[in-house]
Amino acid sequence: MRKRSEPHTFEQRLHEQRLRLEDELAHLPDGGQRDALAARIDQLKTAAEMYDFLKLGEAAAAAR
């Protein structure tokens, strides 16, 4: 029987996606596709920040 890999957390998936896109961005010339990719990277950073913020609020609520 095949061993299942460990599930990746949301944070890990965001980080890996951001790294992959940043690598792709480094190889693109200036233009619309590069701008769209940079915007997507910004969205991933924002999503990670929002997740961290929500996690802190959840931890504070659990501590009460």
pLDDT at 58 over 70: yes
Instruction: State the DSSP H helix or E strand holding residue 51, giving kind and residue range, or none if neither.
Output: helix 32-63
Higher confidence at residue 57 or residue 9? 9
Q: What is the pLDDT of residue 8?
A: 87
Tens of pLDDT along 14-53?
A: 999 999 999 999 999 999 999 999 999 999 999 999 999 9
| DSSP class per residue in 1-50 | -PPPPPPPPHHHHHHHHHHHHHHHHHTPPSSHHHHHHHHHHHHHHHHHHH
Return the domain boundaries, the chain.
32-64
Q: What is the pLDDT of residue 42?
A: 98
Q: Using pLDDT thresholds of 50, 70 and 90, give the confidence band for residue 57.
A: confident
